[in-house]
Every structure is written in structure tokens, then in C-alpha cells.
Amino acid sequence: MAKKQKSEQEAGQKPDKAFEAELARRLRERARLLLAGETQVLQLLKAARDQILVTLAGLPADWQQLQLSRLLGQIEDVLTGATSRAGALFEMRMQDAWTQGEDFVDKPLAIIGHRVELQLAQLDVGVLKQMKAFGSLRLKDVGNEAARKIGQQLGQTTIGAQTPYQAIQAVQKILGAESPRRAATIVRTEVSRAFAVASNERLLQAEPLVPGLGKQWRRSGKIHSRWNHDIIDGQVVEASKPFKVPNPGGGIDKMQCPHDPRAPVEQIIHCGCISVPWMKSWRVMTPGAKPFTERELQLDGRKAALDQAAKRAGSRVE
């Protein structure tokens, strides 16, 4: 009899593998969405770059005779069209991320018998609309900034300050590296934000229906990630409480989730962290900080030092 009771207690302490497997599956979907969003926007910008370079290559040799305002008008039209289409795609990916964020709470909980999806109202999409509008404006700014820099380069050429070849090389750099990099950062940051905000809002809705429901901060696993996000990896709080995240400049920022719209920008840009639903009633596979991989420790000396300090303090295990 005692053996049977011990077995039941051990079973109750085991992580719910189905729950964690569903979380993992949902996170893979999120990763595919982020990649698709970036790829689609970058393809549009590449097509715009190719079109602009073809236009420049076909211009007459005597650049001093160019009608600069007409040429810039053509380039601005191309960039405006590209960023408008990119904005439309971006808004679709934001909508997808919002739905995925909601499902990130609903579907894993349903696996373990908490069918909150059938009891809760849909999330208020007012915040999503604001995030879509903000992100779309930032993408338009990418096109406007590129047009301004291209105008400067072509203006320098028409006054003989640089050769046509130098101008084309400069335009290639603007459209081949600077603008795509900014656009990719915007897409990844804002789509990640939509997912994070939706999942956090859904968690707040579900909290009264699921005793012991909380959330756990998980670091990105990137090689050169934020030290302050690595430090709080594994932190668990109640669903309605904020995470306490050290700020690189000093002090503590209270964040409801990674990519919290109210968090300082230094906590947001290029952040790959996530917040996952956490159940008080059972032990997860990795209850605290997730161990650094060998590759992380080899390629980032800061992480190796952090790892050793944390182990000495007893907050990480081998």
C-alpha cells in the first residue's frame, strides 16, 4: 500500500509531458511565423532594390544633365509601393501572431483538462490595432529614410562630387543592407510583441479558472543575448504579476512579458525571450534557469562567467 502511495506521489510530481510538448509545438509555429514575416518583407524590398538599380543602370552617361527631381520621384514611387505592400503583409503576420499567442495558452491547458477556450471571450483587439498601425508607420519610415539617403547620393553625383559608379554602389548598400536590416528588426520585434501581449492577456483571463496558473520567463538561447535576461531565466510569477528584470543602466524594470509595450526600448529590440504558462501543481522539466549549452559557453565568455557565478550561488545546477 505504501509503495502504491509513493508511486502516485511521484507521478504527481512529474512534468506533464503532453503540456510541455504542446508548448514546444506552439513555439515552433511562432518561429516559423517570424521567419515567414521577415522573409516576405525582405523579398519585397529586394524587388524594389532591383527595380531601382535597373533604372539607375539605364541612365545616360552625362549625369549632370539628369532631371534629379524626376528620378527621385520614380525612386520614391517604387519605395512607397514596396513599403505599402510590406505593411499589408506585416499586418497579416501580426494578426497571425495574435491568434498564436492566444492559442499558446488555450491549447496546452486543454491538453491537461482546462478547456478555458470554451469559457473565455475573445481578446480585445484594440491593442493589436494600435500595434499594427505603429509597426506599419515604422516600415514606411524605412522607405522614406532610404529615399532621403538615395537623394543625397544622387545629388552628390549631379554636382560632380562623386562618380556615377560610386553613387550606384552607395545605393546598393542602402537598399541591400541598411534598409532590409531595419525592416527585419521591425517585423521581428513587433510580431514577437503581438504574440507576447496576446498570450499574456489570455493568461490573465484564464487565471481565475485555473488554480495555480502562472508564467515563467525563458531566455532566447541566442549566443550573444542580454545578460540581464539570462539572469532572470526561469523566474516564475503569478499570471497577473510582472517579472522583475534588471535594466543594463541600473534599477529594475517591471515587465508583464517579454516585449511588454511599456518596457524601455533597451529591453525590447532584438529580444528573443518568451513567457510560458506555468502550473503550480506540478514540476516542470526545467524548474529554474535553463542550462547554457556548450556552444553558448564556448562562444560567449560573459555567459561562462555568469554560469559559474550562478552555480556558486546555488541558482544553477550542472
CA-based R_g, the chain, Å: 25
pLDDT for residue 53? 87
* Of the residues 210, 231, 257, the one at which a domain ends: 210
* Of the residues 180, 210, 240, the one at which a domain ends: 210
pLDDT for residue 7? 38
pLDDT band at 55 (very low <50, low <70, confident <90, very high): confident
pLDDT band at 223 (very low <50, low <70, confident <90, very high): confident
Structural domains of the chain, count: 2
Residue 7 counted as domain residue: no
pLDDT digits over 233-252, tens only?
Answer: 989 999 999 999 999 889 99
Return the closest-CA partner of residue 278 out of 232, 201, 213, 203: 213
Task: State percent of the chain over pLDDT 90.
Answer: 56
Domain that holds residue 307: 211-318
Q: Which residues touch 285 (CB under 8 Å, ≥6 apart)?
A: 15, 20
Residue 78 counted as domain residue: yes
Residues 112 and 221 in one domain: no
pLDDT at residue 66 is higher than 70: no
89 in Cβ contact with 41 (< 8 Å): yes
Task: State percent of the chain over pLDDT 70.
Answer: 88
Residues 72 and 107 in one domain: yes
Residues 204 and 220 in one domain: no
pLDDT for residue 60? 64
- The answer to which of 45-59, 132-146, 187-201 has the lowest mean pLDDT is 45-59
pLDDT band at 186 (very low <50, low <70, confident <90, very high): very high
290 conformational bin, left if phi > 0, alpha if psi -120 to 50, beta if neither: beta
216 CB-contact burial (10 Å; exposed 0-12 / middle 13-18 / buried 19+): buried
pLDDT at residue 3 is higher than 70: no
Residue 283 counted as domain residue: yes
Residues 194 and 217 in one domain: no
CB atoms inside a 10 Å sphere around CB 95: 15
177 in Cβ contact with 142 (< 8 Å): no
pTM, to two decimals: 0.86
pLDDT for residue 203? 96
68 in Cβ contact with 154 (< 8 Å): yes
> All 3 cell numbers of residue 38?
521577415
pLDDT band at 2 (very low <50, low <70, confident <90, very high): very low
